[in-house]
Amino acid sequence: MGDIVQASVRVPNGFFAHAKHDLLLARRHLGDTLAPALFFVMACTLVPLGLSPDAQRLSEIASGILWIMILLATLLSVEKIFMLDYEDGSLEQLLIAPQMISIPILGKIFAHWLVIGLPLTLLSPLLGVMLSLPTVAFLPMILSLALGSAYLSLIGAVGAALTVSLGRGGLLLPLLVIPFYMPIVIFGTATVNAAVAGQFWLAPLAIIGAMLCGAMALCPLAVSATLRAMSNA
């Protein structure tokens, strides 16, 4: 009984309260928070060593490399969106609360994007220079990664909710979310490649924005339904 009361004290309410709560958790577990960014930098650094240092060849594949590495870096962290709350009982207290939980869940996903997706997006221009990406593509790349990484966090949260009771999702989480990640990678690379080719790049970027809006509307509801079904099982 004392554990339940203690957990209930730790459970915040509302979008910003949950976002702040998860940002504090990310600060306390700094190693886990920095791991995706370190992986992103190291993996992109190894590409010229493994393929070719030729600038022309690197510039042709730079957008695809950046997007794939951000996808993999995000996969390293999405399973932890609900893991700590599940382990200390806070998630259970959230699920039995009378209020609608999709807004708090959206706050948790927003916090995940702030500590994972946004830093990776800000690092991408430096790695783009290393991969010889033309400077004309930097703005489209930053915009597409900012929107696309938020989409990755939203879809990843659904997968994390489905596997949270397993302790560690292992191979199951990537199998669940990667099929839904593929379209955003396709349109993300198309945005950057169109800018490099001097073509109109706002069209694929608009598709990314539409996919993000759809995910923002549906994913918190899907996570809420999944977690409630898990708690009732």
Q: How confident is the model at residue 54 (pLDDT cuts 50, 70, 90)?
A: confident
In degrees and rounded to multiples of 5, residue 140 shows phi and psi of -60, -35
Q: Which residue has the tokens 């010229």?
A: 48
What is the distance of C-alpha 53 from the center of its chain? 30
pLDDT at 233 over 60: no
Which residue from 134, 135, 132 is spatially nearest to 53, judged by alpha carbons?
132
The candidate with the shortest Cα–Cα distance to 220, out of 144, 161, 149, 146, is: 161
Q: Inform me whether the pLDDT recorded for 113 exceeds 70.
A: yes
Segment 31-54 shows an average pLDDT of 86
Contact 158, 226 (CB under 8 A): yes
- pLDDT tens digits along 7-30: 333 444 578 888 898 899 888 888
